[in-house]
Structure 1
Amino acid sequence: MTDSGQLFEGFGQRRIPTSGAEINVRVGGSGPPLLLLHGFPQTHAMWHQIAPALAATHTVVVPDLRGYGDSSTPPGGDDHAGYSFRAMAADQVEVMRTLGHQRFAVVGHDRGARVTHRMALDHPEAVERLAMLDIVPTRHVYGHTDKRLATVYYHWFFLIQPDELPERLIGNDPIYYLHSALGSFGSGLDSYAPAALAEYERCFADPQTRHAMCEDYRAAATVDLEHDKADTGRRVQQPTLVLWGAKGAVGALYEPLTVWRDYATNVRGHSIDAGHFLVEQQPDEVLTEIRAFLTET
């Protein structure tokens, strides 16, 4: 079970069953509901520097995505749909409903931001507003792939290889691979609090979790693209905040607001002086932006 309690003082912990998984979640604070979703290769621990501050004004729900952290690792299936962003989004909507929240704000980073994007499309009645950190849409990434993108985002093409190729290679030295991922994209290992890094290491040491992460990427290259294609022309209607790291791949490869304006009708945002893992590199600035966004009318 999770050792992250020291990072979330005053938060309770629950395991909430959904129709497809069992989700590990921490809940703290009171006020309007706010869901925080982490990305690869992390866990809910990535929010530890800002979740307690947000809990002063909001009911903050901080889960592990299915397949990550201490959430369950259900089968992906032959089509990997068990790890589609649609499945992950449905988990989190069910979690929030179990906690009594029918409508809520969402902030997602990396894979969690992709779940957030899908959630806003699939469950517009549930998502009041959304913030997506350091991504452009999955369909745009795959639709604009070149040598530069493939070099920087090599893991998008490595992790989608058939089971068990990436699993076995990563399993030869999983902590080295984890540190390589966390220390890339304009970040360094000194960006992480020791207790948070220990959490990432603990969870990444589990072979089932590493397989689930690969299934997440396999789904993104297959079934998620099918879902995205079916939604061609649909735009997110809710207020949308986009933040990205000026020193990371998203800031280097794209004009994020220009891209997102093809996918969302009410979007604003800007870069943060950080790499990809901007929440842990610049927590105060990210916190300020999220607070302002949540209180906009």
Structure 2
Amino acid sequence: MTTQLFPGFRTSLVPVAPGVHIHAAIGGNGPPLLLLHGHPQTHVIWHKVAPALCERFTVVACDLRGYGDSSKPGGDPAHASYSKRTMAADMLKVMRSLGFAQFRVLAHDRGARVAHRLAADHPHAVQRLVLLDIAPTLAMYGKTNEAFARAYWHWFFLIQPAPLPERLIEADPAAYVRDVMGSRSAGLAPFDPRALLEYQRCLALPGAAHGLCEDYRASATIDLEHDRADLERGQRLPMPLLVLWGAQGVVQRCFDPLAEWRQVASDVSGEALPCGHYIPEEAPDRLLARALPFLAGDAG
């Protein structure tokens, strides 16, 4: 599938821990750019923007641990194996294995939460950062109201103790993908059928439902501890940060993304784009127009 949607890319399984490999698709030329996807998807979310990005950058599009064709290790009682700190360390190891000590990051949804922790824990490595359709995890949990809880019901379903949510997802993973993604503002229309099939294939892989749930369980527990520790230390992201979100999405309705990110980062710009949650697939041209000059360092 990567060869169909990412022509010219090569794929690699990069070891990052004992028994854990990260699947990466690599293509293009120029400064390194790490791409991270969200839920319940894979690196395939970037297929519409990858050709343009490859003209300017060496693109490394990864599947997060627990997702896609990356390893799906079991969880632990503290959910540390799926903490954003651990998942960020995976990505740092991938980039270093490819010879990139410093790089830019473009990330959506769950991947953007990994990217936030990557930038917080390894600010020397992340040169520029673009985060799509999220506010900080701590702010979103702390300011949850009825409207947000109804719209992002999966945040509260997926954190239930194992194996309840896993069992329900595994009963029909293809339906889970269709129902979750199709319930957003644009429905299923923006998604290439080949990409949709890839998301469904990957969620049906052994351990995928558990990895997905552990990602969310970590965000509701250990990740919040790490975020609170940053705030208590007064730690702020030092690199330029561009925040983009969907004007038709839940983040727009329930939060003030720029205000929230300015609480944790020093150099923040951004705006809403005329789309819903899945920006790389709903509004690829708008995303490129805003993100490319920022990532190239021509604006910011």
Tell me whether the two structures share a fold, i.e. TM-score over 0.5: yes
Paired with 2:151 and 2:185, the residues of 1 have a C-alpha distance of 11
Range with greater deviation from structure 2 (65-74 or 226-235): 226-235
Give structure 1 regions of 4+ aligned residues with deviation exceeding 4 angstroms. Answer: none
Q: 1:112-127 to 2 correspondence within 5 Å?
A: 112-127=111-126
Is 1:245 the counterpart of 2:249? The answer is: no
Range with greater deviation from structure 2 (184-193 or 216-225): 184-193
Corresponding residue for 2:3?
Answer: 5
Asked if 1 retains the 8 angstrom alpha-carbon contact of 2:73 and 2:207, the reply is no
2:15 counterpart letter in structure 1: P
Paired with 2:163 and 2:223, the residues of 1 have a C-alpha distance of 21
Paired with 1:160 and 1:19, the residues of 2 have a C-alpha distance of 25
Corresponding residue for 2:229?
Answer: 230
Asked if 2 retains the 8 angstrom alpha-carbon contact of 1:185 and 1:247, the reply is no
Corresponding residue for 1:77?
Answer: 76
1:79-105: per-residue Cα shift (whole Å, max 9, x none)?
Answer: 111011111100000000000000000
Q: CA deviation at 1:207?
A: 4.1
Corresponding residue for 2:297?
Answer: 296
Asked if 1 retains the 8 angstrom alpha-carbon contact of 2:34 and 2:61, the reply is yes
Kindly, what percent of the aligned residue pairs are identical? 53
Is 1:135 the counterpart of 2:113? The answer is: no
Paired with 1:171 and 1:194, the residues of 2 have a C-alpha distance of 21
Q: 1:261-280 to 2 correspondence within 5 Å?
A: 261-280=262-281
Q: 1:13-92 to 2 correspondence within 5 Å?
A: 13-19=11-17, 21-92=20-91
Q: CA deviation at 1:270?
A: 0.5
Corresponding residue for 2:145?
Answer: 146
Paired with 1:154 and 1:198, the residues of 2 have a C-alpha distance of 24
Paired with 2:12 and 2:173, the residues of 1 have a C-alpha distance of 28
Range with greater deviation from structure 2 (19-28 or 193-202): 19-28
1:275 counterpart letter in structure 2: G
Corresponding residue for 1:158?
Answer: 157
TM-score when scaled to structure 1? 0.97
Task: State the number of aligned residues.
Answer: 295
Paired with 1:179 and 1:279, the residues of 2 have a C-alpha distance of 18
Corresponding residue for 2:188?
Answer: 189
1:73-132: per-residue Cα shift (whole Å, max 9, x none)?
Answer: 112211111011111100000000000000000011000000110011000110001000
Range with greater deviation from structure 2 (35-44 or 250-259): 250-259
Q: CA deviation at 1:277?
A: 0.5
Query: Please, what is the CA RMSD of the aligned residues?
Result: 1.0
Asked if 2 retains the 8 angstrom alpha-carbon contact of 1:204 and 1:210, the reply is yes
Query: What secondary structure is seen at the aligned counterpart in 1 of 2:263?
Result: coil
TM-score when scaled to structure 2? 0.96
1:188-207: per-residue Cα shift (whole Å, max 9, x none)?
Answer: 11110111111001101124
Paired with 1:12 and 1:201, the residues of 2 have a C-alpha distance of 22
Range with greater deviation from structure 2 (272-281 or 16-25): 16-25
Asked if 2 retains the 8 angstrom alpha-carbon contact of 1:36 and 1:108, the reply is yes
Q: CA deviation at 1:173?
A: 2.2
Range with greater deviation from structure 2 (262-271 or 172-181): 172-181
2:187 counterpart letter in structure 1: G
In structure 1, list runs of 5 or more residues that go unmatched.
none
Is 1:214 the counterpart of 2:213? The answer is: yes
Asked if 1 retains the 8 angstrom alpha-carbon contact of 2:130 and 2:241, the reply is yes
Query: What secondary structure is seen at the aligned counterpart in 1 of 2:156?
Result: helix
Corresponding residue for 1:168?
Answer: 167
Q: 1:191-206 to 2 correspondence within 5 Å?
A: 191-206=190-205
1:148-198: per-residue Cα shift (whole Å, max 9, x none)?
Answer: 111111111100000011111222222111111111332311110111111
Paired with 2:17 and 2:206, the residues of 1 have a C-alpha distance of 24
Query: What secondary structure is seen at the aligned counterpart in 2 of 1:22?
Result: strand
Q: CA deviation at 1:19?
A: 2.3
